[in-house]
Amino acid sequence: MSLISLKDVQFSYGDTPILHGVSLALEQGESLGILGESGSGKSTILRLMLGLTRPDTGVVEADGSVLDTRSRARMQAHRRFVQPVFQDPYTSLDPRMKVRRILTEPHAALDLPGDAEAEAARVLEAGGLPADSLDRYPRAFSGGQRQRIAIARALIARPRVLLADEPVSALDLATKVRVIELLTELSRELTLVLVSHDIAIVAALCPRMIVLQQGRVVEAGKTAAILRAPQHPYTQRLLASLQHMPMESP
Partner 1 sequence: MKKTTLWIGAILVGINVVIALLTLVWLPYDPTAMSGGRLAAPSWAHWAGTDRLGRDYFTQVMIGARIALTVGVGAALLGGLIGTTLGVLAAFAQRGFDDALAATLDILIAFPTLLLAMLVVAASDGASLGTAILAIGIAMSAIIARLVRILTKRVLAQDYITAARCSGLGWGRIVLVHVLPNIAPTVLVAIALQFGLAVIAEASLSYLGLGAPPPNASWGQLLQSAQSTVFNAPIGVIAPGLALMALVLGINFLADGLRDLLDPERGAA
Interface residues with partner 1 (CB under 8 A) are 50, 52, 75-76, 79, 82-84, 86-88, 91-96, 105-106, 109-110, 136-137, 139-140, 150, 153, 157
SS3 state of residue 192: strand
SS3 state of residue 157: coil
Strand order across the beta sheet in which 57-62 lies: 16-26, 4-13, 57-62, 65-66
Chain centroid to CA 71? 23
CB of 131 to partner 1, least distance (A): 16
CB of 88 to partner 1, least distance (A): 6
8 Å CB contact between 23 and 9: yes
CB nearer to partner 1: pick between 110 and 121: 110
CB nearer to partner 1: pick between 50 and 211: 50
CA distance linking residue 36 with residue 43, whole number of Å: 10
Let me know how long the chain is. Answer: 250
CB of 243 to partner 1, least distance (A): 32
CB nearer to partner 1: pick between 149 and 201: 149
CB nearer to partner 1: pick between 11 and 86: 86
CB nearer to partner 1: pick between 9 and 150: 150
| Cβ partners under 8 Å of residue 98, min gap 6 | 134, 135, 136, 137
CA distance linking residue 4 with residue 26, whole number of Å: 6
8 Å CB contact between 219 and 235: yes
CB nearer to partner 1: pick between 9 and 85: 85
